[in-house]
Amino acid sequence: MSSSLDALPPALAKIVQRFQRASDPKRRYEQLIWYAQKLPEFPEVGKIPENKVPGCVSQVYVTANLQDEKVLFQGDSDSQLTKGLLALLIEGLNGLTPTEIVQLTPDFIQETGLNVSLTPSRANGFYNIFKTMQKKALECKLEQ
């Protein structure tokens, strides 16, 4: 395991390792679709402007709630690949504290190998989703 993986929260490190084992881009896309299909249903009432991720070509929505000092995210997207990226982030970040989430950098996307497979607009979408999730985690902390 690389040292940068050691710095990641366990759930995120596990996801990165899963993508590292998928050596070809087609397998990585299949994995993203799998994550998208695993994502729990997102309530229609959550699809409001305040929950929309800015700067995404796809429609992406994210909500965050604090439960026992830990952030729990929910989300949805109208694009399967973007939904997969969102699901990957939700699975990797759920259950962390707002401080842990805010301290993360999105560099782990390089570790997955996805960055070379993603179109520039999808890579940009990934960063926008990540930044929105950080912002929402911080808002949870401030509302305490």
Q: What is the CATH number of the domain that holds 69?
A: 3.90.1010.10
61 three-state secondary structure: strand
For the whole model, what pTM was predicted? 0.93
Q: Is residue 49 part of a domain?
A: no
Q: State the catalytic residues.
A: 56
The total number of structural domains in the chain stands at: 1
90-142 pLDDT, tens per residue? 999 999 999 999 999 999 999 898 888 888 888 889 999 999 999 999 998 88
Residue 38 pLDDT > 90: yes
Q: How many angstroms separate the Cα of 20 from the Cα of each of 28, 31, 68, 110, 115?
A: 9, 11, 32, 10, 12
> How many whole angstroms separate alpha carbon 95 and alpha carbon 72?
6
Judge whether 65 lies within some domain: yes
- Look at residue 50 and tell me if it is in a domain: no
Q: Once rounded to an integer, what is the mean pLDDT over residues 20-42?
A: 92
Alpha carbons 136 and 63: distance in angstroms, whole number: 7
Band (pLDDT 50/70/90 cuts) for residue 2 is very low
Domain containing 106: what range? 3-42+56-142
Mean pLDDT of 16-40: 92
